[in-house]
Structure 1
Amino acid sequence: MSQQLGGQPIIILREGTTRNRGEEAQASNIAAAKAVATAVRSTLGPKGMDKMLIDGMGDIVITNDGATILKEMDIEHPAAKMMIEIAKTQDDEVGDGTTSAVVIAGELLKQAEGLLQSHVHPTVIAEGYRQAAVKSQEILAGIAIAVQPADTAMLEKVAETAISGKGAEAYKKLLCAMVVKAVSSIADPDGTVDIKHINVQKKVGGAVEDTVLIEGMVLDKERANPGMPKKVKDAKILLLNAAVEFKKTEVSAEINISRPEQLQAFLDEEAQMVHALAEKIIASGATVLFCQKGIDDLAQHYLTKAGILAVRRVKKSDMENLARATGAALVNSIDAISPSDLGTAGLVEEKKFSGEEMIMVAQCKNPKAVSIIIRGGSDHVIDEIERALHDALMVVSVVVKDKKIVAGGGAPETELALQLRHYASTIGGRIQLAIEAFASAMDVIPRALAENAGLDPINLLVAIRAEHESGHRTFGLDVYAGKPVDMLKAGVVEPLRVKTQAITSATEAAVMILRIDDVISSSKSSAPHGGMPPGGMGQMPPGMGDY
């Protein structure tokens, strides 16, 4: 980048810096964003295809989860990276609809391209898109359907829609019932659901049908001592955040021992202190101990003799979930233990899964933390089941919190397109063109669903539009029947927030990309001044090294 001053160029950017301006910069950014949208578009819907991703280490991921695909793709272009941010936000907020959000953003930019070629200014398009996004939120709120958290049948349908099209679809009845039960168990009275209280463990072996929901916790741990009982029924559980071992001094101390019996007395005293700690735990009446810190070998011996099952070095997050599952209080000092701090569980057992020991804390009364053990024939199967479960858990938790759903199958997008076109006709000037372009972009969802199912997208889009023109707001595309169907009756439903978040994120990204008219890329940093040339040692004069 340089400016002329009296015929002499003034260099203000480092040599090697590239700059794209105006239409060239816009075209490059839009093309990159559209390429990302195209990459995931074929995964949309229950008949979407999967992607196989192989990283530099040779690790393979097979999935059709939009967020996972974009996360695993090694993307360099800055505009394309902004599309990945949409997927990440969508995944963090609602767990599903990542592909829809990216595809809508790509289509908004594609529609904007036509307007740019007609010399509509990017600022006008951005303003129109923002107005259309605000109006879309109003329209979606108007077509949303209220649902109660106690309506388990509807919640299962929400989970089923999220799982459809993923590798777990064949097992959706089993998984959906499990998801709804898990979310209902951990929901707080105000409807807040934090899915970190659902502990998902993956164990290769068995079949997917062997996946189970444990009303309690499963820890990837084993007993502290093999002599401890493997199974404890009607367990009284103590959760301890203190080491059951000889306490070392806080400050540096030196003990002078002059006779052997003094050393023995010192060791006996140390053992006596550990024994006293163990006795306090035994006296509490606990039959199972989960300790966040270490348990001394001698303490293990006393606990084993007392028939207590102890587990040491349990993660903080697992301790918190154990407290929610069993009703126990986290105790920070052995001296402060009281029987009222103990929790209960119908069964605590060490079981072997795929050759590895795990501790199961099951049959808890009204557990506020639960566990799901995923089984399957291979790592790839289990990973895809886990991704499907994560999406289903997230969407059900969103519905429990918001209590609002919309029909699926492209029904909300078709209704948006219809109402936005009417809205555009009430707005004058060039902004009307941008709002109409936004409305046209909404049609990409039903069109992509039809394309991925091998159906005729144009005929089906016309048929769905005709139903919506007649006032049938919940009609969408049934990819199995190949015709418009009432999605609400068919049980294809999604959380309202999946749609509102997707449109918000897609609009923000599209507007941001449209407003960029200059891309300045710095050159890769060369060697420090006075160091080796950029070519390094490898650049020898001609003739050198030719043997």
Structure 2
Amino acid sequence: MAQYDGNQPVFILPEDTQRFLGRDAQRMNITAGKILAETIRTTLGPKGMDKMLVDNMGDVVITNDGVTILREMDIAHPAAKMLVEIAKNQEDIVGDGTTTAVIIAGELLKKAEELLDDGIHVTTIVRGYKQALSKVYEILEDISLDSKDKDTLMKVAMTAMTGKGSEKAREPLAELIVNAVLKVEEEGKVDKKNINIQRVSGASVDESEIVDGILVDKGKADLSMPKKVENAKIALLKYPLEVKDLETDSKINLTNPSQMQAFLDNEEQMIREMVDKIIESGANVLFCQKGIDDMAMHYLSRAGILAVKRTKKSDMNRLEKATGGRIMTNVNDLSADDLGEAGIVYEKKVFDQMMIFIEKSKNSKAASIILRGSTRHITAEIERALEDALGVVSATLEDGKVVIGGGAPEIEIARQLKEYGDSISGREQLSVNAFAEALEVVPKTLAENAGLDTIDILVDLRAAHEQSPFMGLDVFDGEVNDMQVVGVVEPQRIKKQAIQSAAEATEMILRIDDIVAARGALEAVDKDDSLDDSGMPPMGGMGGMGGMPPMM
């Protein structure tokens, strides 16, 4: 890029740099956000559709979970990536509401574009959006209910799982999730890492069960080891029970068979000494994060020790917390004080998979769920539904605040925001009203995905909210009902985080008026062709879905 000083060009940026200024930059980013929101919009709600994502290796993911779709898609556009971050943060903080957050952001961008076309300055739009967001917090607090009893937790869990492939068994699955969360809850806080979900295909979903303890998806290291150990003393070892391979190019020259035998005897003695350390500590169960040598397994079996090799790091951390043991990096440092405790450790076959159960542990704040399903794809999708339910139940238990679902909070917030907007002077009023209208995209999308008339539904919802803030769309009978009676309940944290993240990301995108990118970072055409016939920039740079081939 060059600037001209008289007749002399002054090069500031490399010649192959792309640059979009002012309205072009804003339009490009807004369009990227709108396209991304439209992509996942059809997945929202109980009647939402699924997406099939195929990666370069041919692996298939079928899901309607917003954050999973966005993670699997190969997205290159920088503004679109910012909306993907919204979904990821929503998933980390709450566990659900990822699609809601992205489609609200897309609608806020759409409304902002209309205001920009009407000549409203971007600073005014952003200021109005900030005022609206502050008012949203107040309204949300007013329409929230204080409740965290088990009945409310069950409703929250079932609401989160509806429409995600688990309807026929959502009540028993919700029972599993609520019981697991209550099991690990400590002083009003829930560490979701203490709940382990193990998928086992080959049965009906309603055969899923909860285990009062830790579940490790490994069998014992050797068939001759005991299948069950009571009053278990558990050693947790990060160190491999193997003789280390030489990490250099050094060679050992053996000139006769006796030297070879001495070398092998020395290796065996080293392994025997490591096993003796475990036996001396008093351990009768061993979980090793690395490998265990065949000779070591032989000696462990003779000592009556149940050993599990190549245990996952996450399982090791759960075992450390649940049993009170300590993960050792050197077997020579192992002592009785480092051992964990559990009432019983045993091996059991679930369908075609051997698993180790650790129950009655020293710290009982641990639970596992065995999730069954007929196929791998179905089980994986139900697991995503369970993880969403786990997040929302935990949020409800921690905050004790819920809102009624079915689009009721968005309609009520929009209604009160419009009243608030009428009290504001200046052009910020237009931004506040635009923010209110953008929130109505949630009930509108719920109606669209259920095959209902969106105009009629929105008119009915607005009229119903003159009487009650709990009136929402029941997509199963296609009517506006009191969703508190229907039992559709969500944590307040979902709505607050989704609207906040969407507003903040929208503000960041709108304030960008100059894009400077290396060639290839944005797949744009020549500057003269940077806008198509519709006035929109080309959307090169929005990647395909996980290497999915082009549709013919």
TM-score normalised by the shorter chain: which range applies?
0.7 to 0.9
**Counterparts of 1:7 and 1:339, CA distance in 2:** 82
Structure 2 gaps of 5+ residues are 247-251, 522-552
Match of 1:395 among 361, 373, 392: 392
**Counterparts of 1:285 and 1:3, CA distance in 2:** 78
CA change 1:10–1:300 in 2 (3 A) is closer
Matched residue, 2:33: 33
CA distances 1:318-350 after superposition (whole Å, capped 9, x unpaired): 222113333445466566533794411334114
CA change 1:519–1:245 in 2 (3 A) is closer
CA change 1:48–1:521 in 2 (3 A) is same
Question: How many matched pairs?
Answer: 520
Give the residue type in structure 1 aligned to 2:17. Answer: T
CA change 1:57–1:247 in 2 (3 A) is closer
Match of 1:192 among 172, 189, 192: 189
Match of 1:168 among 163, 166, 169: 166
> Is 1:413 the equivalent of 2:447?
no
Q: What secondary structure is seen at the aligned counterpart in 1 of 2:220?
A: coil
Matched residue, 2:81: 81
Which has the greater radius of gyration?
1
Moved more, 356-365 or 393-402: 356-365
- Kindly state the Cα deviation for residue 273 of structure 1 after the two structures are TM-superposed: 7.0
- Kindly state the Cα deviation for residue 36 of structure 1 after the two structures are TM-superposed: 0.9
Give the residue type in structure 1 aligned to 2:416. Answer: Q
Give the residue type in structure 2 aligned to 1:174. Answer: P
CA change 1:207–1:112 in 2 (3 A) is same
CA distances 1:8-55 after superposition (whole Å, capped 9, x unpaired): 544433334333323232222222211111111111111111111223
- Kindly state the Cα deviation for residue 201 of structure 1 after the two structures are TM-superposed: 2.4
> Is 1:155 the equivalent of 2:158?
no
Give the residue type in structure 2 aligned to 1:158. Answer: V
Give the conservation status (yes or no) of the 8 Å contact 1:18–1:520. Answer: yes
Task: Trace 1:177-216 onto structure 2 (pairs within 5 A).
Answer: 177-189=175-187, 191-216=188-213
> Is 1:345 the equivalent of 2:343?
yes
Give the conservation status (yes or no) of the 8 Å contact 1:94–1:398. Answer: yes
Q: What secondary structure is seen at the aligned counterpart in 2 of 1:239?
A: strand
- Kindly state the Cα deviation for residue 242 of structure 1 after the two structures are TM-superposed: 5.3
Give the conservation status (yes or no) of the 8 Å contact 1:323–1:343. Answer: no
> Is 1:496 the equivalent of 2:488?
no
CA-based RMSD of the aligned residues comes to: 3.2
**Counterparts of 2:515 and 2:244, CA distance in 1:** 62
Normalised TM-score (structure 2): 0.85
CA distances 1:207-231 after superposition (whole Å, capped 9, x unpaired): 3233332222222323222211223
Q: What secondary structure is seen at the aligned counterpart in 2 of 1:469?
A: coil
Match of 1:479 among 475, 478, 485: 475
**Counterparts of 1:16 and 1:329, CA distance in 2:** 57
Structure 1 gaps of 5+ residues are 250-254, 526-547
Normalised TM-score (structure 1): 0.85
CA change 1:248–1:446 in 2 (3 A) is closer
CA distances 1:109-167 after superposition (whole Å, capped 9, x unpaired): 1111221121110110011001111211121122221223xx22211111111111112
Task: Trace 1:261-280 onto structure 2 (pairs within 5 A).
Answer: 278=275
**Counterparts of 1:524 and 1:321, CA distance in 2:** 45
CA distances 1:173-214 after superposition (whole Å, capped 9, x unpaired): 12111111122222222x222222222222332232333322
Give the conservation status (yes or no) of the 8 Å contact 1:322–1:328. Answer: yes
- Kindly state the Cα deviation for residue 235 of structure 1 after the two structures are TM-superposed: 3.7
**Counterparts of 1:80 and 1:121, CA distance in 2:** 23
- Kindly state the Cα deviation for residue 99 of structure 1 after the two structures are TM-superposed: 0.7
CA change 1:258–1:20 in 2 (3 A) is closer
Structure with bigger RCO (C-alpha 8 Å, 6+ apart): 2
CA distances 1:246-283 after superposition (whole Å, capped 9, x unpaired): 8999xxxxx99999999989987876776565456446
Give the conservation status (yes or no) of the 8 Å contact 2:348–2:357. Answer: yes
**Counterparts of 1:294 and 1:69, CA distance in 2:** 36
Matched residue, 2:67: 67
CA distances 1:70-97 after superposition (whole Å, capped 9, x unpaired): 2222223222222212111211211111
Give the conservation status (yes or no) of the 8 Å contact 2:320–2:340. Answer: no
Matched residue, 2:512: 516
Give the residue type in structure 1 aligned to 2:302. Answer: K
Give the residue type in structure 1 aligned to 2:486. Answer: A
**Counterparts of 1:258 and 1:12, CA distance in 2:** 71
Give the residue type in structure 1 aligned to 2:32. Answer: A
Give the conservation status (yes or no) of the 8 Å contact 1:14–1:523. Answer: no
CA change 1:521–1:239 in 2 (3 A) is closer
Give the residue type in structure 2 aligned to 1:38. Answer: E
